[in-house]
Structure 1
Amino acid sequence: MTETTADALRDDYLARLDEAMRGLPHGVASDIRGGIVEELEGLDAAATEMRIAQLGDPVAIAREAQDEVPGAVTIVTAPPVAAPSAPRPPTTSTRGFAIAAALTLSFGGFVLPVLGWFVGAVLVSLSPLWRTWEKVVAIVIPFVVGGVSLLLVSTMVTFSASDSGGSSSGTGTAPVVNPLLPAWYDLLWMGFLGIGLLLIPVSGLWLLWRLRGRVPR
């Protein structure tokens, strides 16, 4: 009967001790509990009751142990940092911009005469999807052909006027000119003008053809 009473006292005390030490680290709580079990082991009921009284309230034991435990180190795990996404290419590097630039170069001059072509030339020069020589060919050739055409037409008109003046001031009979028929220089002017106008859209379409298969760098 005495042993049973001693076991009951010990089990009750250890149960209250376990409850009080729930907030302690597992290793510390286990050491304290193991030491108290050794001290109460083999005692009779009277000795167990006396030793429990000497040990004190389990809550006080747990509080004292908590004060002696070094501050817990909280390990903060930084959230995973997402891999930086590749920077978006500038707008001028996209295929959409290049296509719009080529179309503006081809047909912008028909929407806004002269100004539209210059806008298209600037847009084409900003796109990195074409090589430098391609830009030069597409922009310079129509400009050069147009300039040469105007120069040739102006020169031919000047010489034609000089020839007409010389013939009328001489003793010969002035040639009869039908005003309803275009003069030879009118035909040349219209031909050069047609070539120049044709080269402008062709140059933009040629850039679109050169653009095939290319991606932004």
Structure 2
Amino acid sequence: MTETTAEDLREDYLARLDEAMRGLPHGVAADIRGGIAEELQGLDASSVAARIAQLGDPVAIAREAQDETPAAPPFVVAAPIPAPEAPRPPTTSTRGFALTAALTLSFGGIVVPVVGWFVGAVLVVLSPLWRTWEKVVAIVVPFSVFLLTAILITTMQGFSVATATGSSSGTGTPPPIANPLLPAWYDFIWFGVIALGFVLIPASGLWLLWRLRGRAVR
């Protein structure tokens, strides 16, 4: 019959202890196993058997250790904090507002004469999608051309009337009487200015639309 050695007794007891302490925290189980292994180290078979009898059943050791181990606090998964919503850009910064402004500048004066154009100019100024110089070109240039041409025609018309009045009051040959049914020379210029406005003002708004292409919303 094979005699059981001290090493066999020690390894068997430690194996049963490991199995019993499987549910304990790793640090607690390692400390208990290390302490018992140290106590059994270097003893002969009879001494190991006596010490094992004093230590008792590994299941009882594991249960006692479990009772003395403080319960771990429950693991709480924190609810994810929702990311703050990005602030919506103001209405004047949207592409839709810019499109409305350019189209109003182009054709608002046709729908509502004069007032419609001024409304479109204000909308264009409020939109940040165009640079300052682009707004100046689209608003000031057509307005300046129309205004300067109107001043020039008015001045020439007044000069022509004054010349005709001076000639009629002299002693020379009286000027020919103008036919009211036929337009005067300055009437043709006025028609040209109106036609220029019908071309230049819509073109300015369409030019803004062309400048807007591919431009990112701020």
Same fold (TM over 0.5): yes
| Corresponding position of 2:170 | 170
| Corresponding position of 1:198 | 199
Deviations 1:122-171 (A, max 9, x none): 11112222221111100101111121122112211211110111111011
State how 1:70-109 maps to structure 2 within 5 Å. 70=70, 72-84=72-84, 86-109=86-109
Deviations 1:36-69 (A, max 9, x none): xxxxxxxxxxxxxxxxxxxxxxxxxxxx999865
State how 1:1-217 maps to structure 2 within 5 Å. 70=70, 72-84=72-84, 86-171=86-171, 172-217=173-218
- The residue type paired with residue 106 of structure 2 is S
Give me the whole-angstrom Cα distance separating, in 1, the residues matched to 2:112 and 2:67: 86
- The residue type paired with residue 200 of structure 2 is L
Deviations 1:48-106 (A, max 9, x none): xxxxxxxxxxxxxxxx9998654542332222345555443332222222111100110
Where structure 1 has 5 or more consecutive residues not aligned to the other structure, the ranges are 1-23, 29-63
| 1:110–1:116 CA contact under 8 A, matched in 2 | yes
Give me the whole-angstrom Cα distance separating, in 1, the residues matched to 2:160 and 2:82: 77
Give me the whole-angstrom Cα distance separating, in 2, the residues matched to 1:74 and 1:111: 72
- Secondary structure of the structure 1 residue equivalent to 2:158: helix
- The residue type paired with residue 157 of structure 2 is V
TM-score scaled to structure 2, two decimals?
Answer: 0.66
Q: How many residues align?
A: 214
Give me the whole-angstrom Cα distance separating, in 2, the residues matched to 1:209 and 1:131: 13
- The residue type paired with residue 100 of structure 1 is T
| 1:149–1:193 CA contact under 8 A, matched in 2 | no
Give me the whole-angstrom Cα distance separating, in 1, the residues matched to 2:118 and 2:68: 83
Residue 178 of structure 1, CA deviation: 1.5
* Overall identity of the aligned pairs, in %: 69
| Corresponding position of 2:16 | none
- Structure-2 change in CA distance of 1:101 and 1:68 (3 Å): same
TM-score scaled to structure 1, two decimals?
Answer: 0.66
CA RMSD, 1 decimal? 5.0
Where structure 2 has 5 or more consecutive residues not aligned to the other structure, the ranges are 1-23, 29-63
